[in-house]
Structure 1
């Protein structure tokens, strides 16, 4: 029964991750098309991503806290439905202001999935299997990115559909997914309202967050922030880097697609590698490799750069499996939802700053220079890993 429930939790959260990450990352394929359609600057392109991440950042911590009282099931369903309605509205937008508004609503819905799904998995898997389960879950997010990105590129570049067609289609898919999630979670008895409500003393104060090692959690948050800054910065402007190398606007988003393909493999592999050699060694290696790959891609012509992008994706997207799998080492079990909410919010805040900051830098200089800066930023994580390793060892002894 326990094993069956664990498998159900993994299947349901993986399915939710496919849809939510697909919705988020199909925006990368839309950005060049929206820039052409509405005559946007790079700063405005960055603002579109920043608005989406602002909405996500605003709700991830509250969602994690609410779930301790309501259960994860109703909130995960509500968030998925809200994301679907946001995309249906986006398809009808006819000016920059309307696009910003509906992307904001889609981002609000997207805030629900990551902390809730991660908490469902960490609460249903033992410590020995958590990183592997989270690695599989993260890999399915990249499957969603690959499917939704690929479909968007194929529909707009090969079939000559306008940008609204895939947006409407995926909005409907999100609404249907919300219904399926509700039915499956209910049938598996997962995510219901907790039988014992949390006391006020548990909710408030530092102890209410369940942090076993504050310094370690700050270090993990810092690494998360830098990692997300790099990922958001590179993926937002990867298509524009290819355009500067001579690739057409319609096909430029393939740069994101092939990067995501590598990440699809990397997230599963990195989670399992972290189980074997340790999380901090894994993070340091993948972040260092990320910087080297970005610099190589900037230096190479478009054809050779495309061949390197999947390799970059392994490291760029794979690191998160090791990072998020470390949360249970530093947080008490009953507080996983809010802790994941905080960690994902840190990432979302960087998703606000990075596209805007790098967009302004790209307008001021060029996309290639911006990518070199992106590579430099990710190297800041490497020295932090040494201190995180010490903190994790201390936390495990508590």
Structure 2
């Protein structure tokens, strides 16, 4: 049985109710996992105080999570080929929850590192598998549902970090992590109960496979387009954590308490969620290229403004910053199935997430973490703004590579 057989759901035979339920369950799961990723930022000051870590070491702690998440994207898709995407999604969510439970039980730095690796390994399952399940279920109509799925991740980013920030005002960070681990266990149970089983039709393929070849542009142009899309995703995915790593310390230097830092991340998450919806509409009206240029230039400008402003106006800017930081990703994720080499959607998503998350996991501690130690948080954040601007020439090069279907869907 192939991975395609596990993930393929013929659009004509899939009930609308099952499609909606698939989108809802994978959306809740996405919210949990993205919330798990971003709550680490709120915990960094607490870990710095307890373990006496420098910025490079703090970046490495986050990389333990994101590195495992990135490295296991393709292996997770292979496991789905053996056991089914549903079973792997359930197991991955349970493993992430277990990792955070172990982190809460740990009393030392070594135990925390192992726990973050386990939590990241569990998180590696949901992006490629859930995205491919949705793409297979909706076929050529998947761009909108994929944008909705992408949007739900920001709801988790808006909810979990401030919740943990509030917990840290009355609890230790250990107790806070036990609580979020319990939430993860509940979501894993929900996935097991409500996510529909995949069809096992080996011949079923989503509509729109091999779009570049049907478009007459040839497989070489399709591979070039996918490569450029991945490169854009790498820079976009790196700029966001490169800035957010330093946001707590930038805000604390302006006089913010830990609870205020949690609120700031909530505002960033809410703005990011809005950005997914707004930029999806902008992508439909303006096209991929103008939308991406707008969001990346806006990201750079918002980062520089956040550095220059006092605390109150900087906090007011957070929703706009989140909108710009996260707006690009909806356009990119919706384009993956249309540029998937050979029409292999699940493999394309796995590769996309592997490269984007993997490069980010390596670059944050090795480049941006060391840069922060050398020149301080403000200049490191400025480098993140420059990273966002570096997307612009790449997206201009991508435009001619988009297949006809993608051009019609974004213009």
TM-score relative to the length of structure 2: 0.87
- State the distance in 1 between where 2:28 and 2:262 align: 24
Distance (whole Å) between structure 2 residues aligned to residue 196 and residue 165 of structure 1: 49
What is the aligned partner in structure 1 of residue 296 from structure 2? 287
Within 5 Å, give how 1:4-83 maps onto structure 2: 4-83=17-96
Matching residue of 1:108: 121
Classify 1:332/1:3 alpha carbon distance in 2 versus 1 (closer, same or farther; 3 Å): farther
Q: Does 1:384 align with 2:394?
A: yes
1:218 aligns with 2:213: no
The answer for the alignment partner of 1:86 in structure 2 is 99
List, as ranges, runs of 4+ consecutive aligned residues in structure 1 with deviation greater than 4 Å. Answer: 192-198, 394-397
Q: Does 1:139 align with 2:151?
A: yes
Distance 1:345 1:215, change over 3 A: same
Contact 1:70 1:194 in 2 (8 A): no
Equivalent residues, number: 380
Alignment-derived partner of residue 171 in structure 1: 181
Q: Residue 40 of structure 1: SS of its match in structure 2?
A: coil
**Cα deviation, residue 176, structure 1:** 2.1
Alpha-carbon contact 2:268-2:319 (below 8 Å) kept: yes
Q: Among residues 337, 346, 365, which one is paired with 1:328 in the alignment?
A: 337
CA distance in 2, matches of 1:324, 1:211: 21
- In the aligned structure 1, how far is the partner of 2:290 from the partner of 2:406? 17
* Stretch of structure 1 that moved more, 174-183 or 251-260: 251-260
* Unmatched tracts of structure 2, length 5 or more: 1-13, 206-218
Residue 206 (structure 1) aligns with: none
Deviation per CA, 1:226-266, whole angstroms, max 9, x where unpaired?
Answer: 00110111112111111122223453343322111110111
Are 1:375 and 2:375 an aligned pair?
no
Please, what is the CA RMSD of the aligned residues? 2.1
Q: Deviations over 1:273-318 (max 9, x none)?
A: 2233222221111111111111111111111111111101001012
In structure 2, what is the Cα distance between the partners aligned to 1:382 and 1:324?
Answer: 17
Note if contact 1:53-1:352 (Cα within 8 Å) is conserved in structure 2.
yes
After TM superposition, give the deviation of residue 272 of structure 1 in Å.
2.9
Q: Is the 1:297–1:305 contact (alpha carbons within 8 Å) kept by the matching residues of 2?
A: yes
Match of 2:282 in 1: 273
Distance 1:28 1:341 in 2: 25
C-alpha contact (below 8 Å) 1:77/1:179 kept by paired residues: yes
TM-score, structure 1 as length reference? 0.90
Q: Are the structure 2 counterparts of residues 310 and 136 from structure 1 closer, same or farther at C-alpha, using a change threshold of 3 Å?
A: same
Would you say the 8 A contact 1:135–1:272 is kept in 2? no
Q: 1:13 to 1:333 in 2, by over 3 A?
A: farther
Q: 2:119, 2:61 → 1: CA distance? A: 12
- Separation in structure 2 between the aligned mates of residue 70 and residue 143 of structure 1, nearest angstrom: 29
- Distance in 2 (CA, whole Å) between partners of 1:110 and 1:265 is 24
Distance 2:73 2:395 in 1: 25
Given that residues 211 and 332 in structure 1 are in contact (C-alpha distance below 8 angstroms), is that contact kept between their aligned partners in structure 2?
Answer: no
Query: Is 1:230 aligned to 2:243, yes or no?
Result: no
